Structure 1
């Protein structure tokens, strides 16, 4: 069962995912969590403190999603890696759409908030490490170079699907093409 702190942060993620960065306030988080007015402010005295905690929470939730996916698949060749990235794209734009939208809202906010940018760099480095391992296992001759290319392409595909949803969304061909081009 989630702690009160996690429940508040999950509510804040929902607010971000549904209303964007400007919709995130202590009051909207309290309402989304179904808690009395002031509950969020009692734990996070400023909006910046709330945003910092949200970054850590969504990073933990995304890691849990990644770990769940990793237990179901272990890509050891380019085809398997492409398939895994396709599954993850469907998850990010489907069941975890709100979480993904919250991440993108915070990424945009980080462009104007240096402290948030630094925190995202730290959590991003952890994601890079997980993914670089997979790229290495899939046979990359240069995983440090291939990882950002694949991750940035995947991010663009997901962002486009979130912004302009296609009911027939199937990124498998695009993802397979880029993975096989980098990892022949």
Structure 2
């Protein structure tokens, strides 16, 4: 296998674009080569198989959609509160809209994982680790709500993201902010009134 980390990263990024645009069935070495603007046959020199390419996409996509640590620090400057949880969920929702391709590719990976046990195992491990990190982040930062509340919010936000990415007219944009606030209220309770 060829060892050029920059070229490999460019091919994986192109694979993410192809996955989001054409779905898992459209993810071929030829399509990746075309999307990356490299000579035909290049991707097959970097990845032993389509499964190898899918594994590389699974590893890379989390880095692509992860928030910038400086942005996290800026958002977390506010004191822990229900309002901050609402702001964090709104921020996550905006990030999905800003990186639509990455999240659509993630949805395609999830669908493909239902047919590929090895991909399912790897994707399950990666998503579980991300959820565990989210729970730890929430609890360690003293945000209101327990572990169950964080999991409920995760599941509800995942559903909202699915609707917005695939059928955006189901939940109109103008309703999203109020729904997120209501979700947090129901999962962790409303802000104490003092």
- The TM-score with structure 2 as length reference comes to 0.85
Aligned to 2:15: 12
Distance 1:107 1:159 in 2: 12
Aligned to 2:187: 182
> Structure 2, unaligned stretches of length 5 or more?
190-194
- What are the within-5 Å matches in structure 2 for residues 56-71 of structure 1? 56-63=59-66, 65=67, 67=69, 69-71=71-73
Distance 2:182 2:136 in 1: 20
- Among 40, 49, 69, the alignment partner of 2:52 is 49
Aligned to 1:102: 105
Aligned to 1:165: 168
Instruction: Answer whether contact 1:69 1:88 (CA < 8 A) is retained.
Output: no
After TM superposition, give the deviation of residue 168 of structure 1 in Å: 5.4
SS in structure 2 at match of 1:3: helix
After TM superposition, give the deviation of residue 23 of structure 1 in Å: 1.0
Task: Show CA shifts across 1:114-171 (max 9, x none).
Answer: 111110122112211221134323122x21x222211111011011011122495142
Distance 1:180 1:135 in 2: 16
**C-alpha spacing 1:133/1:78, structure 2 compared with 1 (3 Å):** farther
Aligned to 1:73: 75
**C-alpha spacing 1:68/1:172, structure 2 compared with 1 (3 Å):** farther
- Structure whose alpha-carbon radius of gyration is higher: 2
Task: Show CA shifts across 1:49-83 (max 9, x none).
Answer: 000000000012223x2635413311622211111
**C-alpha spacing 1:112/1:183, structure 2 compared with 1 (3 Å):** same
**C-alpha spacing 1:127/1:66, structure 2 compared with 1 (3 Å):** farther
Distance 1:100 1:86 in 2: 16
**C-alpha spacing 1:7/1:151, structure 2 compared with 1 (3 Å):** same
After TM superposition, give the deviation of residue 20 of structure 1 in Å: 1.0
- Cα RMSD over matched residues? 1.9
> Structure 1, unaligned stretches of length 5 or more?
none
Distance 1:150 1:50 in 2: 32
Distance 1:177 1:134 in 2: 22
